[in-house]
Amino acid sequence: MTLTDRVADICRAHSGTEGALLPILHAVQAEYGHVPPLALPTVAKALGVTVAEVQGVVSFYHDFRAAPPGRHVLKICRAEACQAMGGAALAEAAKARLGVDWHGTSAQGVTLEPVFCLGLCAAAPAAMLNGVLAARVDATRLGEMLAEAGA
Amino acid sequence: MRIFVPADALARALGADAVAEALVAAAAARGETVQIVRNGSRGMAWLEPLVEVDGPAGRRAFGPFAPVDAAALFEAPDAHPKALGLTAELPFLKRQTRITFARVGVIDPADLADYQAHGGLSGLRRALAMAPEAVVDEVVESGLRGRGGAGFPTGIKWRTVAGAGIGQKYIVCNADEGDSGSFADRMLIEGDPFALIEGMVIAGLAVGADRGLVYLRSEYPDAIAVLTRAVDLAREAGLLGPSVLGSGHGFDIELRIGAGAYVCGEETALLNSIEGKRGTVRAKPPLPAIEGLWGKPTVVNNVLSLATVPAILAQGAAHYRDLGIGRSRGTMPLQLAGNVRFGGLFEVPFGLTLGEIVNSVGGGTASGRPVKAVQVGGPLGAWFPPALFDTPFGYEEFAAAGGLIGHAGLVVVDDTADMLALARFAMEFCAIESCGKCTPCRIGSVRGVETIDRIAAGDAAAEPLLRDLCETMRLGSLCALGGFAPYPVLSALNHFPADFARTSEAAE
Ligand SMILES: Cc1cc2nc3c(=O)[nH]c(=O)nc-3n(C[C@H](O)[C@H](O)[C@H](O)COP(=O)(O)O)c2cc1C
Ligand code: SF4
Ligand code: FES
């Protein structure tokens, strides 16, 4: 199925939803790992809005990516409670190990993204690898997590 | 044998799933049958994963539990190296007054019968027998104020929506919980989702709304899964649907997932986001209570505000109102986070001093070093130095001390913390998360980062600039993101001037 057909299907599945744009974008990203620019005209048409409006929404929200991430996505919490427990050092260790800055993708295919609070602030610092949460993470534990994920 | 292993996100992030598997395997190896209940968390982060076992004298606690501890639990539980005694006797729990969190960690969050066996739905049953105005009056009487930050009286908000004519109205639950150091909404949803559902149904009855929406942040996958399942179960049981518990009143709930924008916790940005727009803040008036979601009268309430309502209806307004201090009535689920020895959730009546909370409840820092400061109320909250630790926990009391209680998250830092770096972070966060609608916030925060960098480089002349900038942001911002970002910055500057007094030589 072409991207356009598939995205049209997703839009149809949400036709009964009021304010369907975010649910549609989440569904598109769940399928493709990002919101492909090619999907926007289809979404705009289904909702009766302009492509510019859809683009404006996509770019507003941090969750939506314009390009595919690597095979793995590592999110590290940058917020205060995690900073209080060495979160900044953990982030530096991750950047050094992966050889990338925030939003970069390493040679092994790990995309590093910042996140502001995962709700694990009483067991900081916190991280999320491929959707799985981890608490009290240090550089050693981070290395194990990446190794377990094959990254 | 019934064993409780939390499925709370924090417990899982510390290995609770592997513990549950190990317990099943260890039981099977001994030919014993066990029933594993995946409860919420009791809120003692340093003991997670906290395993509990049913016993004649009550539940016994073991933790922090590792998979290797499983076999011993069946051999000699009393001599188990992780044994903590009766859960109810643990000092951290014993000192609490749990109303909002009464069932969290106790019940199976996927079991509506368990919910009812622990007092669930009695508030709704009482509400169904009352006139809607009487329900609103009861919530007003209780003194409950919004737990999302602004502290607006919940009953008064409901009264406005109830009086906004007839026609389509909405109950919107704000579960965006973006504040660092906050996790009470998450724990409540993961541990007792029916309490939120019941609270939303009562709100619907009280104001004449038949549709509810929960805006839940995408960073909380476990809470999303638990609430989705609970809504399905509630619908199957007739708690949601065209006739709530056979009353003839309809109410249903839909989940909407956020997309990583902090500002969408602001109620009007949240409404825009649900409508499928950019999450920019709307000018008020009109209030959402008059013109909210799709222009209709809308109650927007925090998870904790709504989830406390069933208990207020069940036990009567006076029971709740009689707790607390001043205009801060009832209890507050405090969240102890960051560099704190005993971190987690602690629900008590308003009125403990900040020092009691940090030192006596929290046990000081996790690192064992002196406490340097505590940020109360999220990224827009002020940093409190130990000199202000006699401040009683209450809305007005914290405002008088130059801060806010917000959603009652407390982030503790030790004496290694660099307050200039934390002030810079507050400005950077504001710049990243600004919705872009007003200049003082959008541009001011970027200038703020630059100005703090100048101070860090030893340019003392930049300090008055920073103060001016904060004043401009405070006065010229449409919402509290730009308007309150000066709180953490100025409190850091005022209480910890040494961290900002960098000489140019030191910087070079
Ligand atoms: C930048 C910003 C972020 C906010 N984030 C939240 C949030 O995550 N959760 C919340 O309940 N309220 C948040 N609020 C407060 C809401 O605007 C609103 O006051 C609240 O949802 C009302 O519910 P309550 O009266 O039950 O507290 C935020 C406000 C601002 C200005
Ligand atoms: S203060 Fe900032 S976040 Fe709030 S409306 Fe203005 S630009 Fe938007
Ligand atoms: S601040 Fe990092 S998980 Fe909350």
pLDDT, tens digit, for every residue of A31-69? 999 999 999 999 999 999 999 999 999 999 999 999 999
Nearest CA of chain B to the CA of A60: how many Å? 6
Name the amino acid, one letter, at B209.
A
Q: Do B300 and B328 share a domain, yes or no? A: no
Contact B36, B7 (CB under 8 A): no
Does B364 lie in the same domain as B223?
Answer: no
Do A76 and A112 belong to one domain?
yes
Range of the domain at A50: 3-60
**Considering the domain boundaries, does residue B103 fall inside one?**
no
Distance (Å) from CA A92 to ligand 3 centroid: 17
Co-location of A84 and A143 in the same domain? yes
Look at chain A and report how many structural domains it folds into.
2
CATH of the domain at A91: 3.40.30.10
pLDDT in tens, A125-144: 999 999 999 999 999 999 99
End-to-end Cα separation, chain A, in angstroms: 31
Domain-located, residue A66: no
| Percent residues over pLDDT 70 in chain B | 99
Total structural domains in chain B?
Answer: 4
Chain A residues with beta carbon closer than 8 angstroms to that of B274: 19, 22
Please state, in angstroms and rounded to a whole number, the distance separating the CA atoms of residues A130 and A126. 13
Asked whether residue A67 is assigned to any structural domain, the reply reads no
Last residue of a domain, one of B357, B392, B414: B414
Are A43 and A84 in a shared domain?
no
Query: Would residue B55 count as lying in a domain?
Result: yes
Task: Judge whether B369 and B416 are in contact, CB under 8 Å.
Answer: yes
Q: Do B379 and A136 touch (CB under 8 A)?
A: no
Q: Whose C-alpha lies nearest to ligand 1, atom 25?
A: B146
Same structural domain, A79 and A29: no
Those residues of chain A whose CB sits closer than 8 Å to some CB in chain B are 18-23, 25-26, 47, 56-57, 60-64, 79-85, 115-124, 126, 131, 133-136
Q: Evaluate whether residue B116 is within a structural domain.
A: yes
User: Are residues B139 and B264 located together in one domain of the fold?
Assistant: yes
Domain range enclosing B11: 2-92
Residues with CB under 6 A from ligand 1: B 146-150, 152, 154, 174, 176-178, 263, 265-267, 300-302, 305, 479-481
Please state, rounded to an integer, the average pLDDT across all residues of chain B: 97
Looking up residue B39, the CATH number of its domain turns out to be 3.40.30.10
For residue B121, pLDDT beyond 90: yes
Q: Answer yes or no: is pLDDT of B507 > 60.
A: no
* Residue A65 belongs to some domain of the structure: no
Does A28 share its domain with A78?
A: no
pLDDT at B473 over 50: yes
Judgement on whether residues B454 and B473 belong to the same structural domain of the protein: yes
Q: Does any domain span residue B478?
A: yes
Q: Please check whether residue B187 lies inside any domain of the structure.
A: yes
In a domain, residue B384? The reply is yes
Give the span between the Cα atoms of B139 and B133, in whole angstroms: 10
Domain identity same for A138 and A80: yes
Domain stops at, among B92, B123, B154 = B92
Q: Do A100 and A35 lie in a common domain? A: no
What backbone phi and psi angles, to 5 degrees, belong to B417?
-70, 145
* Torsion of the alpha carbons at B80, B85, B88 and B89, rounded to the nearest 10: -150
Q: Would you say the CB of residue B480 lies under 6 angstroms from ligand 2?
A: no
Question: What is the C-alpha to C-alpha distance for residues B462 and B466, in angstroms, rounded to an integer?
Answer: 6
B479: its two tokens: 């919402």
Nearest CB to A135; choose among B14, B274, B280: B14
Provide the 8-state DSSP code for B90: -
A124 and A82 share one domain: yes
Report how far Cα B129 is from the mean position of its chain's Cα atoms. Answer: 31
The pLDDT tens digits for B261-278 are 999 999 999 999 999 999
Element (H, E) at B74: helix B70-75
Residue-level pLDDT at B76: 87
Q: Are residues A93 and A27 in the same domain?
A: no
- B157 and B72 in a single domain? The answer is no
Tell me the chain B residues in contact with residue A55 when contact means C-beta distances shorter than 8 Å: none
Mark whether B138 and B232 lie in a shared domain.
yes
Residues with Cβ within 8 Å of B71's Cβ and at least 6 positions away in sequence, in order, are B26, B29
User: Chain centroid to CA B167: how far?
Assistant: 32
Same domain, residue pair B330 and B316: no
Question: Do B311 and B223 belong together in one domain?
Answer: yes
Identify the band that residue B299 occupies on the pLDDT scale cut at 50, 70 and 90. very high
B259:A61 CB<8 A: yes
* Alpha carbon distance B441, B474 (integer Å): 9
Q: What's the first-to-final CA gap in chain B, in angstroms?
A: 66
CB within 8 Å: A57 and B222 = no
Q: Is A118 in the pocket of ligand 3 (CB under 6 A)?
A: yes
Beta strand residue intervals within B350-453, DSSP E? 371-376, 383-384, 409-414
B167 with B262, same domain: the answer is yes
- Give the mean pLDDT of B119-134: 98
User: What are the backbone dihedrals phi and psi of residue B446, each rounded to the nearest 5 degrees, phi first?
Assistant: -65, -45
Residues B119 and B259 in one domain: yes
Give this complex's ipTM: 0.97
Q: What CATH code is carried by the domain that includes residue B447?
A: 1.20.1440.230
Measured CA to CA in angstroms, residue A141 lies from A144, B66, B106, B240, B279 at distances of 5, 16, 31, 44, 36
Tokens of B82: 């992780």
Measured CA to CA, the distance from residue B421 to residue B114 in angstroms comes to: 48
Confidence band, pLDDT 50/70/90 cuts, at residue A88: very high
Residue B285 maps to a domain: yes
A64 close to B259: Cβ distance less than 8 angstroms: yes
Q: Decide: B411 and A84 in contact? Cβ < 8 Å.
A: yes
Q: Is the peptide bond before B64 cis (omega within 30 degrees of 0)?
A: yes
Q: And the tokens for B48?
A: 């997670």
Residue B297 binned pLDDT confidence (cut-offs 50, 70, 90)? very high
Same domain, B52 and B178: no
Shared domain check, A80 and A124: yes
Say if A10 falls within a structural domain. yes
- Is position A141 within any domain? yes
Closest to B323 in 3D by CA, of B350, B360, B345, B347:
B350
Residue B246 forms part of a structural domain: yes
CATH at B334: 3.10.20.600
Looking at the structure, do residues A97 and A134 belong to the same domain, yes or no? yes
Regarding whether B305 and B211 lie in a shared domain, the answer is: yes
What's the token pair of residue B114?
A: 């368990």
User: How far apart are the CA of B374 and the centre of ligand 3, in A?
Assistant: 15
The residue from B259, B290, B321 where one domain ends is B321
* CA A42 to chain CA mean position, Å: 22
To the nearest whole percent, how much of chain B has pLDDT over 90? 97
Same structural domain for residues A55 and A78? no
